[in-house]
Structure 1
Amino acid sequence: MQKVDIRKILHAKIPGLFHKYPDFIGNLIVNFMKWFVKVDEVNRFLEIAGEKRGLDFIESTFNELNFKYIMSQSDKEKIPSEGRLIIVSNHPLGGLDGLAMLKAISEVRKDVRVVANDILQNLESLSELFIPLDVYSMTKQKSQILNIEAALKDEQAIIIFPAGKVSRLRASGIRDLKWQNGAIRFSGKTEAPVLPIFIEGRNSLTFYLSSLININIGMLMLPRELFRKRNGSIKIKIGDLIPATTFKNSQLKISVQTKLLYKHIYKVRDNEPGLFKTEQTIIHPVEKKNLVEDLGNSRLLSNTNDDMKIYVVEHDVAPNIIKEISRLRELTFRKVGEGSGKTFDMDIHDLYYKHIVLWDDNNNEIVGAYRLGDTHDILDKYGPKGLYNSSLFELSNVYLDMVDSSLEVGRSFIQQKYWRSNALDYIWQGIGAYLSNYPDIKYLWGNVSLSDSYPEIAKALIVKYYSKWYPGDSTLAKPLMVNKFSNKVLADVDKIIYADDLNKDFINLKIALKSLGLSIPVLFRRYSELTTQGGTQFISWGVDHNLNNCIGALILVDLSMIKDEMKERYYSQKSFLV
């Protein structure tokens, strides 16, 4: 069983201390420090906890102290259940607040750690929850900073107290010391959103008065303060999520953004609107047992060779599946700058459209989905307004007559972890299996989106290329919101997309996008490759303000012109649909 060794800590932090003075002086220093920081009581705690580590150790500590934190259910729901995350908070207690934060976040996700002073690494029972940061050694800091970045890139949640030290008594009350810029730097480097949290708590008056005399005396008193929290509690208040783009796109210096973030935290305390643009945290996952139960009520289309299944799902019999689709859809779209900013991405159309769902049997989770609407049935029951794309385009009567025997498709997504798999192919095979049961369907049509995170020149290049080589009759549909490019951007595009050959322009497009660190969006490429020339048409281009101002292309695919190799690829799956 581990114990805190004050002599070992002093030797590590003050090299040469015990060589500088006679042994009896060294022993006096050690004994005084043991008394002052209550080492014996700390070690008694460790003995009670036994071999417990990590979150179990924190639970044992809180039970022994009869200490608790208070967090509302609505605040708990603001904690993202997955994905890289920086959690930023004030630091009122200097010890228990960090443990409370770890325990609170772990109620939603277990992959949470806190950036802490490297001295705390001496507490082996908690070391697995710490990412050490030595504020005094630049050499150590470099590797430790890389460790923090690596954890975020591994989609973990990292707690940072930007003050680095416990709050002190100031003229304005109990407040944090000056914040360091690390949190915003890490957000910019890793594109991790920031969750602002305010902790309501305070230390004793003796602590604050001692800190006024000497800040180091206050630091040494923190273990004493911990034991004064017996039978106590703190309140954790959580603000809305600040997307990484808020900091990344800001013209302000990082130091100024840090000061604003500091003020933003205290706005959270006062239940006032913050200083940064925020978005709602995505709802937490639906329980897997509910998803499995819903699939039992749904129709199986086909199986894949690697333990995945393709279903046709409808809201009436599988509401939990549709709810989880809306969660994953928002989660996935946010990663490419197209999220709605709401807690989940669901609209009225999800209630009566069908959904092709790819299910991973091994992990019991939805891999991805594609939404299908039988245009004839929707027009018959709801009229033109019942079609999703009528909210983006003014669809002419000629067009509506043309697509009467068709499927409106869209709102597709693949979970990020499956992006490099065959998931999209499987879903398209599911669409093919579905279509094989409805030979009267002549067209696929719908909206493919182009993220607003693409720079103007990239968006203009893509619009120009697909309008030029896959044109449709623009009189069939008019966008309700028009995207306009500047004359300069259009002139630059004309210098790149200028060839009289599709393949040459395609190469020019790829080279231009690659120079910007981008590529052609997958669905643009897939739809254009699906048919022989003229079978896929890009009819109109609009803007979807509900999806973070992404550009939407209205496409029409003539199923009679699908290439033979694509029929073999997507129509060969045996369908179980009856």
Structure 2
Amino acid sequence: MKQSQEEPGSAPPPGELVRMADVLPLLGRPGLRWAGRVLERLLALDIINRVHAAAVAEAEPRAFLTRALEAFGVRYEVDPAQLLRIPSEGPVVVVANHPFGGVDAIILTALLAGMRGDARVMANHLLLRIPQVRPVLIGVDPFGGPEAARRNVRGMQEALDHLMDGGLLGVFPSGTVSHLQLPRGVVEDPPWTQHLFRLVKRSGATVVPVFFEGRNSALFQAAGLVHPLLRTALIPRETARRRGEVVRLAVGRPLPKARIEGFDDAARFTRFLRVQTYLLGERKAAAPAASPKPAGRRGREPEPIAPPEPVAALAAEVARIPAEDQLVQEGDFRVFVARWSRDPALLREIGRLREETFRAAGEGSGRARDLDGFDRHYLQIVLWDDARQCVAGGYRVARVDRVLRARGRRALYTATLFRFRPGFLRELGPAMELGRSWIRLAYQRKHNALALLWRGIAALVVREPEACVLFGPVSISRDYQPLSRGLIVSFLRETLLDRGLASAVKPVKPYRLQGRAARLAREAGRAVRTIDDVSLLVSEIEADGKGVPILFRHYLRLHSIVLSFNVDPAFADVVDGLLLTDLRRTDPKILQRFMGAEGLARFRAFH
């Protein structure tokens, strides 16, 4: 709607909300009123007035807005479980994209007013002409000019006071409707205002993002290219055009005060909120990937997983593990080294459980057991549950220098995924290659399972302290959406890539992200600060709400670096990040957690 000659907040003419004569007084003259009526029809102002007349009898704001939506013939859908993410008390800012310019404001105001009695929404000051909604609106002026600046200062102060009183505030941070952004050719909000940062920081409010699905018509986008006021004039027409539609919206995970305090830059904070909001539109209702493709058997179904090994056979082999291969004992759990030549039943069971675990994560070899030629000369770090007499998890480990001397570079698993500059592996010295990390499904919610395995790895390092460099692939499965994988890879490349060492490593099949997903990943990369930020964004995309794989978080705590990324078609197209960890650079407090005080002392004495 265009600004009238009346002061905002003054009552509209009886039965009407807006007339062309209010916008262009010339059209109110005798002989020109017909032109005003024609324009009102072209811009759908007559429909807006009929909707207003249908709802005007409702005095309460939410009832008025609900009746207006009914008169427009518009419904909205939102997951009731997601609405619970909006706190029921305390200062809260709900931010939303602004794709329509009319219906979205009505829906957000009706929604929030129905949830909390202290809800208010920052909206175009012209809407204050409607008496019924004045109690739930804070007027702002998007049209510019000195008077607009003064009005907006008052509006911002009113919004801050409302939050300081513990209220709920809805905001469209773009300040104007989504439109075609050139030269990118996408329809989305213009840059969001950074004033939002001040509101949130000063009030200590929790922030909750809301995403509206949809966009205005091609005519609307084209009109905006001619002049922004043409676009604004068409908003009533676009609102009327939504008759019979269902507007879908999604509510994201809240950003609590503690998370917000980590931001000290208004631009980055605003970009992060914007990215989080738009990523809500990328969530798919169903799992993104089909069944994993079997390794080396394209076009065939995966083999049935092998039956379990007899418990007695497994227990007998565990009982024969020599003392030098025993690594950790804690309660009912122990960690030890298993070997191909000595422990055949354990190796078969490890292969079976690896395949079962990896398939559940959208990975897997497609064979009955995930065993290959590398298992013959690699060591298996095994987590064993004495109480249940079963294998609970494992790692595969090899001393790189020993494998190179005895068998050559091709005997290293990582050499099937990456090409190394001549001499690079020897330059690493007596490093350990780690891979095939897994934890049995029944133990994945036990927080100590991964820690116990790493205590076993640390025990090996303490025994052979010269092998202080660990490296190997860490995977992101096809169970993640392509955009989620892109977000994780982009963040790791930007923050952890060692460009010097990375120049010595080339992936066999490079990972590439293209199109819309690549653009969104780049935008997110400019907004995130930490792996926790990335994990929050990933959880907004994934239907099951999962975040960054836990193993990546673990390696980040060890101060690992990234060398490269590869796509492995032999293992269900997982994206493997090649990570390198020099334990001499790891925080001693973290090392002590895995090595123990005595083990850490021995390790540091060596180095």
TM-score, L = length of structure 2: 0.47
Bigger Cα Rg: 2
TM-score by length of 1: 0.50
